[in-house]
Structures are given as structure tokens and as C-alpha cells.
Amino acid sequence: MTTPGAPQPDGPGANPATDRCPRCGGGFQCGMQGPAPCPCTTVQLTPALQAALRARYTGCLCLACLQALAAGAAP
């Protein structure tokens, strides 16, 4: 039985933000294990920036941070 107003398994809110971006602290849902390609796979980062991010952060960054970094923001 479900509670009225609670997210349904396949309805809106089914994939709540369960991850925290280590760069900005914001919540997001990483899609790497999902059925469709994660939106982060569309972001182009240089190999040097990828190496710097791996050295500085553990885990995934949110799409907004990845887009800002790709546009030239400081890691």
C-alpha cells in the first residue's frame, strides 16, 4: 500500500537525487547505471581536466558542474 501523495515507483519522483556533487554539494541522480546513457556522457572534457578532477574528487560530479568545467570554470 502506498501513501497518498508519495512518489510512485514509476511515477514522478521515482529517481530522487540520491548523490551529492563533491564540487558544489548539490543533489543529483547519477545515470551511469541507468538504462539510458547518462547526460554527463555528452560533456566534452580534456584529458588533462579529467585527470585533475579524478585527483581532486571522488565519485561523480553533477551535470551542471561538468558543463561549467567544460566551459572553462576552475575545478
Given the C-alpha cell 581532486, which residue does it identify? 56
Q: What is the pLDDT of residue 34?
A: 85
| CA distance linking residue 71 with residue 44, whole number of Å | 9
User: How many CB atoms within 10 Å of residue 21?
Assistant: 20
Quick one: cell of 45? 572534457
Q: Is 2 part of a structural domain of the chain?
A: no
Extract the C-alpha cell encoding 3.
Answer: 501513501
pLDDT in tens, 4-44: 443 333 334 444 568 899 999 999 988 888 888 888 999 99
Range of the domain at 49: 19-70
Residue 7 lies in a domain: no
Instruction: Classify residue 10: in a domain, yes or no.
Output: no
Residue 16 is predicted with a pLDDT of: 54
Domain count, the chain: 1
Q: Does residue 33 belong to any structural domain of this protein? A: yes
Look up the pTM and report it.
0.72
Residue 5 within a domain: no
